[in-house]
Chain A
C-alpha cells in the first residue's frame, strides 16, 4: 500500500519514506551524483591516467599531435577531440564545475530571496504584503535569462563568471515566481494554531518567524530553487555559447564549437556530433537533475498548492 502524500500519516518519518521512494528524486540524485563524480574525476584523471601526457589532455590548451582533428570517439579520446585537438571527455568533466557552480549559486540565491520576501510578506501583511505581492507578480514577467544575458554580455569570466551568473539569476528569479509560491505557503503556516500560541507566549516577530515559520517554508523554497536553477544553467550555457570564448570551457562553449564547425564545413566535412552531444547532454542532464529534484520535492511536500489553488 502506498501512503498518499496528503494522508494524516504524513509526519516527518513518513515524509522521509516518501522522499526516498520517490522515483523522480532517485533519478535526480543519480544524475547529480554523476556530475559530482565528473568534477572529482577530472583532477584525479589528470593526476593518474593522463599524467603521462598533460599537454594532450589539458581542457583548455591540450593538443594531440598524433591524429587529425576533430576526431570521433576512440580508445585514447573517449568522447573524441574537438577542432582544436582538445580531448572532449576532459573538456566535459572540466565543464561540469561551471554548470554546478551556477546551479548552486542560483539555488541559494533563489532560496534566500524567496524565503526573506515571502515570510516577511506573510508575517506583516498589510501594505508590506501588497507591495511584495505586486513586486513578485511584476517580476514574474521579466525573463531572467535575458536579463542575465544583458548583464553578462561582453564581460570576462573574472568579472561575470559562473558565480555571478548564478547569483544574479537567482535574485531576479527569486523575487518573481519563487516569492509568490513561498508567500502562499507562508500564509498557510501563519494560519496554524501554533503561531497564535507563540504570540500568546509573547514571542517577538523575529523569533516567531525564524523558529516557527521559516522551517516550514524551507521545502517550498527548495522546490522553487530547484526548478528555477534549470534556467540558470541554461543562462550560463547560453552566455558561454554566445561569447564563444574558450578560457572557461563550459558546456555552452562545446555546442558553440560544434555549431561553428557545422556552419563552416557543412556538406564538405562530417558533422562533429560528439562535441555538440557532449555539451547538450551535459546541460540537459544537469538541468534535469535539479528539475526532477524540484518536481519530486513538490510531489512530497506540496501536493495541493500547485498554482493559486487554496
Chain B
C-alpha cells in the first residue's frame, strides 16, 4: 500500500503497463509470424504447387514459376510481411481472399474458446483451491484423477462420449426453450447473420465480465460481500436480457444450441464444443492452483491469519489464494496453445463451422495461404490471452506492474 502512495500520479498504472506490454506483444507476434512463415515454407513437405506433381516434374516447375514459388525465400518473406501489414493474407485455393474465409470461421472459435477458457479457469481454480487446502486423502485423490483425465483425454473420444450422452438432453432443451428442432427454420427469414449475432454476444459478454470485475472491486473496497457474490451473475443476466431486448434472443440461443439432429451423433453445436473445451482445460488449471496453494500454505502469514481468529475459508480465500493466483495464472497460460489445438479437434469432430473447418480444409487441399492465415489467427488469440493474463497478474501483484515481467 505504501509503495503505491509514493508514486501517485494521475495516470492509472495499467496505461503504462499495457503500453509496454503492447510493444512487447508486437515484437513477439513478429517473431511468431516469421517462425510460422519459415515453418510452412521450409519444413512443411507440400506447397501450393504439389497437386501439379501429378502432371510430371515439368508441370510442377511451371506451377512453381506461375505461383512465384521459385523466387528466393527472402523475397517471398518480404511479400508476406508487407501483405500482413496491409491486412492482406493472399488468396485461398478456392479463390476467396483468406481474410474473408477467416472472418467467416474465426468468430465462433474465438468466442467459444474465450468463454470456455474463462469457465474452465473458474472451475479449475475452485477445485484446485479446495484440493490444495484440504488434505483429505479421498478428495485429493479423486481431484487428482479428475485433473489428470482432463489433461490427457483424447479429444475425439471425449466428443464421442459427450455427444452420446448429451445429444438427447440438448434436443429436449431446445424444445423446452421453444426452439424448432431444425435450425434452418429460424435463419431462413431472419434479418441477421449468425456471425453478427455472435459478435453481439461476444461484445455483451465481454462488457458483462468487465462490469462484474469493476463491481467486485467496488464491493471489496466497501466490504459488501453479497455484492461481490452477485456481481457476475447479475451482469451476465443483464447481458442476456439486453440480447433478448435487441430482438435476437431466439437467434442467439440457436447459435449456441444448434444441432444437426439428423445425424447419429450431435453435431454442429457450439455448446458441445464449449463443454468439451471446459472438460479438457480445467485439469491443467487445477494442478497449477494446487501447486500454488501447497507452496503457500506453510507460510508464516497463514499462522498469523489463523491466530487472528479468521475462519479457515477466510484464511484460504483472502490470504493464500491471492498469493497463489499469479503463478497459477502464468502457468495456466502455457497450456493455451495445447488447448486451442484440442478445441480445433473438438470442432472438427462436431463439424462446427469454425477455425477447424478452415484449418483442416487448408491442410487437405494443401492450401498454403489459408494455412498461414489460420496460424496467424491462432497466434493472435494466443497473444491476446497473454496480454489479458499479464494484466490480471499485474493487478494481483503490484510488484509486477513496474518491473519487467
Give me the interface of A with B, judged by CB distance under 8 Å: 4, 24, 134-135, 137-147, 149-151, 153-155, 176-177, 180, 230-231, 233-234, 237-238, 241, 251-252, 255, 259, 262-263, 266-267, 271, 276, 279-280, 283-284, 287-288, 291-292, 295, 298-299, 303-304, 306-309
Contacts and interface: CB of A to CB of B under 8 A. Distances in A.
A259 B160 contact: yes
Interface in B300-345: 326-331, 334, 337-338, 340-342, 344-345
Contacts of A145: 338, 341-342, 345
Given A238-B154, A241-B154, A298-B291, 5 more contacts: A142-B36, A255-B156, A283-B157, A295-B287, A306-B328
Nearest to A238: B345
24 contacts: A135-B31, A138-B31, A140-B337, A141-B382, A141-B386, A142-B337, A142-B375, A143-B337, A150-B363, A151-B43, A241-B156, A251-B154, A252-B154, A255-B154, A255-B157, A262-B264, A263-B265, A266-B264, A267-B264, A280-B153, A280-B154, A291-B148, A291-B151, A307-B326
Given A142-B379, A143-B341, A307-B327, A135 B35 contact: yes
A304 B292 CA distance: 8
Contact of A307 (B148, B298, B330): B330
Interface string B35-52: 110011001111000000
B168 interface: no
Would you list the 3 A-B pairs with minimal beta carbon distance, nearest first? A307-B330, A266-B264, A307-B327
A80 B323 CA distance: 51
A294 B149 CA distance: 15
Nearest to A224: B334
Contacts of B337: 140-144, 176
A153 B35 contact: no
B327 A262 contact: no
Contacts of B395: none
Nearest to A175: B35
Given A141-B379, A237-B154, A267-B264, A24 B31 contact: no
A141 B156 contact: no
Given A24-B144, A141-B32, A291-B152, A177 B291 contact: no
Nearest to A289: B152
A307 B328 contact: yes
B193 interface: no
Contacts of A306: 288, 291-292, 295, 327-328, 330-331
A115 to B, nearest CB: 18
A255 to B, nearest CB: 5
Contacts of A147: 39
Interface size class of B (residues with CB under 8 A): 35 or more
A284 B152 contact: yes
A69 to B, nearest CB: 20
Contact of A177 (B35, B46, B265, B334): B334
Contacts of A234: 152, 154-155, 342
Contacts of B106: none
B1 interface: no
B176 interface: no
Contacts of B291: 295, 298-299, 303, 306
Contacts of A262: 160, 264-265
Interface string B344-374: 1100000000000001000110000001000
Contact of A308 (B27, B29, B144, B405): B405
B253 interface: no
A93 B186 CA distance: 50
A230 B151 contact: yes
A153 B307 CA distance: 61
A86 to B, nearest CB: 20
B383 interface: yes
Contact of A280 (B157, B359, B386): B157
Contacts of B160: 255, 259, 262, 276
